[in-house]
Amino acid sequence: MTSPHAPRYSRITGTGSCLPPHKLSNADMVALLAARGIETSDDWIVERTGIRNRHFVADGVNASDLALVACRDALEAAGVKADAVDLIVVATSTPDMVFPSTASILQNKLGIHGCAAFDVQAVCSGFVYALTVADAMIKTGSARCALVVGSEVFSRILNFDDRTTCVLFGDGAGAVVLQESAVPGILATDLHADGRHVGILCVPGTVSGGQVIGSPLLTMDGPAVFRLAVGVLEGAARAVLDKAGRSEADIDWLVPHQANIRIMQSTARKLKLPLEKLVATVDAHGNTSAASVPLALDVAVKQGRIQAGDTVLLEGVGGGFTWGAVLLDY
Ligand code: ACO
């Protein structure tokens, strides 16, 4: 807790995650698509993306259910009781309902009531956006203890007749407890969007008059997203380093959005980071959109790789087109 006159910062004090138990290997995806007369292979998926496994939720399990488990895990790691939370921000593109927010549903499941709760929609950049918003609210005194969550059930919006997208995604959730602190914590943030590229990655359907109008399934121009992603991530990284007065050499860990190992390695190379500093979980989780960064962060913390005091660069990129970075001392 800070005195009223001391500079106010925010700091991650606990991480948590949740993967649904049903794991699908690439061999399972080959069989699933073969039953629909579509060909794919473990070799193609591994070589183009680095993905080997993903997890899918069972019927009836929603983003708020995965988020609840991840939040309880993060609260326990932080040693914080749920009733101390005064802000919940959930990043998701696969909410439980059109409204109310998944954050409100999650708040009720956590058994707490009254604190601010809302969703952030920035697709795969969602967690970086949510963390930036929560950091700003803590720095301005609007909140002291936030749950910042990325939770997705992308299996619900996949087109299993489209091999170019359905093999890429998985379900999961990651969460952090972000608390007021006299020392940083979050050092710098940098967010961007370019709406000219809405069409390259979208679920174009909407609900109107009791009907779904347009497709409710994910569509992506993969090569276009790939080109944009490799072009913007270095800039966001350099922006947060500049704002924080740090250099590439200060980065202990790069935790980027887990979409494609080739994009992640390209970013690491541009920042002159050895690949040992890259946290990669895409092989085990696939692309879990807004959940991918907090999931990877939690895995690296639980493995004891990310330690207190390490400087960590988080990066998101995805539909919108959106991208951004957060630099922090863990
Ligand atoms: N199995 C076998 N072959 C396939 C498959 C598949 N699952 N999917 C595509 N192919 C074929 C294509 O049909 C094509 O065949 P052709 O040459 O005969 O036409 C060939 O493989 C190459 O296809 P490309 O799309 O050019 O393959 P590419 O190397 O670009 O990889 C990929 C595709 C993995 C989607 C890549 O473009 C990518 O990772 N893009 C970025 C995705 C991303 O970063 N998303 C982040 C945000 S996600 C979000 O916000 C929700």
Q: Is 1 a residue whose pLDDT tops 60?
A: no
Q: Is 60 a residue whose pLDDT tops 70?
A: yes
Measure the CA–CA gap between 113 and 104, rounded to whole angstroms.
Answer: 9
Report pLDDT digits (tens) over 28-48: 999 999 999 999 999 999 999
CA 223 to ligand 1 centroid distance, Å: 6
Q: Is 4 a residue whose pLDDT tops 90?
A: no
User: How much is the average pLDDT of 9-21?
Assistant: 98
pLDDT, position 46? 98
pLDDT, position 74? 98
Q: Is 5 a residue whose pLDDT tops 70?
A: no
Given the CA of residue 218, which atom of ligand 1 is nearest to it? 51
Confirm whether 287 is a catalytic residue.
yes
Beta strand spans in 19-144 (E): 23-25, 53-55, 87-91, 116-120
Residue 3 vs residue 252, higher pLDDT: 252
Q: Is 3 a residue whose pLDDT tops 70?
A: no
Strand partners, 207: 212
CATH number of this structure's domain 186-329: 3.40.47.10
pLDDT, position 278? 98
Measure the CA–CA gap between 162 and 152, rounded to whole angstroms.
Answer: 20
H or E, element range at 172: strand 171-181
Tokens describing residue 220 = 């992506």
C-alpha angle 120-121-123 in degrees, rounded to nearest 5: 130
Residues 6+ apart with CB under 8 A from 166: 29, 33, 158, 159, 160
Confirm whether 257 is a catalytic residue.
yes
Residue at token pair 């708020």? 64
Task: Pick from 120, 151, 164, 203 the residue to mutate for probing ligand 1's pocket: most ligand atoms within 8 Å of its CB.
Answer: 164
H or E, element range at 131: helix 126-139
CA 47 to ligand 1 centroid distance, Å: 11
pLDDT, position 7? 73
Residue at token pair 């983003």? 63
pLDDT, position 144? 97
Report pLDDT digits (tens) over 128-167: 999 999 999 999 999 999 999 999 999 999 999 999 999 9
pLDDT, position 155? 98
CATH 3.40.1400.10 fits 9-181, yes or no: no
Pocket of ligand 1 (CB under 6 A): 40, 44, 48-49, 123-124, 163-164, 167, 201, 222-223, 225-226, 229, 259-260, 263, 287, 289, 317-319
Residue pair 297/279 in contact by the 8 Å Cβ criterion: yes
First to last CA, the chain: 17
Q: Is 2 a residue whose pLDDT tops 80?
A: no
Report pLDDT digits (tens) over 81-124: 999 999 999 999 999 999 999 999 999 999 999 999 999 999 99
Given the CA of residue 257, which atom of ligand 1 is nearest to it? 46
* DSSP one-letter code for 160: T
Q: Is 127 a residue whose pLDDT tops 90?
A: yes
Report pLDDT digits (tens) over 208-234: 999 999 999 999 999 999 999 988 999
Q: Side chain identity at 128, as an amino acid letter?
A: V
pLDDT, position 227? 93
Q: Side chain identity at 201, as an amino acid letter?
A: L
Contacts 24+ apart (CB under 8 A), 30-37: 32/160, 33/160, 33/163, 33/166, 33/167, 36/160, 36/161
pLDDT, position 6? 72
| Helices and strands (H and E) in the chain: how many | 10, 15
pLDDT, position 82? 98
Q: Which part of the chain has CATH 3.40.47.10?
A: 9-181, 186-329
User: How much is the average pLDDT of 277-304?
Assistant: 98
Instruction: Classify the phi-psi angles of 137: left when phi > 0, otherwise alpha if psi is within -120 to 50, otherwise beta.
Output: alpha
Mean pLDDT over all residues of the chain? 97
Report pLDDT digits (tens) over 238-255: 999 999 999 999 999 999
